[in-house]
Structure 1
Amino acid sequence: MMGKTKLSDVARAAGVSPMTVSRVLNGRGGASPDTCERIRQIADELNYRPNALARGLKSDKSRIVGVLVPDISNPFFPEIIRGIESVAMQNGYNLLLCNVDESAKREIDLMQILESQRVDGIVWCSARLPEQPLIKALQAYKAAVLVNRSVAPAIAGSIMIDYRTGAADAARHLWQTDRRRIAILAGPTTSRGAAERLEGVKTAFEALGAEPVAVVHCNPDVAGGAAASKGILTSSPDIDGIICYNDLNAVGALQTCEELGLSVPHDVSIIGFDGISLGELVRPKLSTLHVDKYSIGQLSMRMLLDRIDGKFIQHSIVIRPELTLRGSTA
């Protein structure tokens, strides 16, 4: 069996020094454009793969970033991951993806694992930890970016979705369509984004001189939405509008309405949050607060790269959701 191709093998085949090959393959120039192209082609033909560990020890960089998400099965997060990966690959980084599975304890365990793997930085999506344990965990890293949470800029950058404004838009829309008995599926009690959505809804209702009929926290999945909406609609059958923590909860509410013989949107209007593709596949199509998840991923990785390089150009970006009206609202 042939041994692993070495950098010196590429240099010999290209007729240049190993130092020249190293500089070219690490994007630092060192040769004419034609020579650079020849070196890359020979490296590809010989199936040369740099020793990432050795390269990391020399540069004090592993070229790996950690990404934590609360639930990989939630369609909201794969799009963010794709956005992160697209920018990471363009800049010579790989991802170490961690699924928290909605567990604050697992978040701590995974952070310790990522630290042991010498990742250059982390993107942490929708962290469930309370404020102080979150800050303590982040302080182990040179560079970090939070999605849907924020801490002091010296500790981590942040990509924030303006949940308050989005949820207020949803509440006002239902009110403007003559919905007066509105319930809230408020999502997990540990989610900061859930608290912000609820604040936005309550602020909008206060301005209207009203308040939600019911607020129920639930798991952020289809089953959680189905169970919570069934409890609400059974105890308060005159509910005529439901604002949901996310689109998965909203799909669960659609299922419950069908089970109970309620017409959507004639009897009950339903609005989700996040704008996942599933919302366009159900019937009626789901009204939602849409956010560009792929762009969130790209923005978070670019911010992380700046922080890895010691450039604190931008500490926080706020994205406003877009109210997208479809068949589930009157």
Structure 2
Amino acid sequence: MRCLKYQVNNQFKDFLPDPGDFELIHENIPPIKQGEFLVKAKFISTDPYLRSFANRSSVPYEQFGFQVGRVVESKHPDYPATMNVVSHSGWRDYTVLNGDPDEIFNIKPYNAPVGNLPLSYAVGALGMPGMTAYLGLLEICRPEAGEVVCVSSAAGAVGSLVGQIAKLQGCTVIGFAGTDAKVDMLRNELKFDHAFNYKATKDVKGAIRSVTHGIDCYFDNVGGTLSAQVMECMNENGRVAVCGSISLYGKNSSPRKKPHLPASVTGVSFSFTQWNLEQQGAALAQLKTWIEQGKIQAKETIVKGFEGLPNTFIGMLRGDYVGKTVVKV
């Protein structure tokens, strides 16, 4: 049989890739062998880390990424037919796997932990973004009731969960997003206490000071100028969880002004992979319970069409979508 996959042929010159950097390729798939299983992709993830990792790889390379699919044929006892499997198999509609870990995150394919919830959640709120939000906030920032938590890219896959989890901890939550519609969503649907459109806010520090005495925990998804201004508002003994620096991806590494921070503030860069499988599983189980109880909303945008994957990825980076952006195959 044949499958479709995307190959990256050019290094991305700018923050936003060019659709022409990607090539759609037909590939012949041989019959599966003993110990292998064939997965048909159902939802493919687009994430900011795909941009940050891109130019670390020499071209051409197959576009990596998370997907969730269904096992359609199996000769592996642990992956029976009809199982829904999450893997880091990349942008391809069919994949032959053998259960080994992937080369980037060292994660073995695993049964999608969604229960009766939408399968797309397996690459969103109940996948890597969910683990990142939960563990980064609760294990790195460790917010306490009554503290102030600030989140950048707050309407995205990770940030939208971070703010809601912080509210469940009894915190005051401030979010920054890139459009007025996203700000309204944060305030009215996700119940953030305060939200600002960073593109329309000339004085970020002034905006923060207008609603709070300062920031105790900052969950940083963007880096750059916005984060520098937020960190100027950190309180004594504040904690910063550095999840991503999307504003800097694809830009040169010229020196940037460092924010003035109290000496007691701690900042930690992290990846969800630093926690073991038991901790990751516990995080997903708690998130699933909160979603089922209606305490957390799993915001997502589903775009149909494998052929449109590059444009959807570019749109996600541009900020066109709300929550987790996934492509339905």
TM over 0.5: no
Name the structure with the higher strand share: 2
* TM-score (normalizing by structure 1): 0.36
Find the structure with the greater CA-based Rg: 1
TM-score by length of 2: 0.36
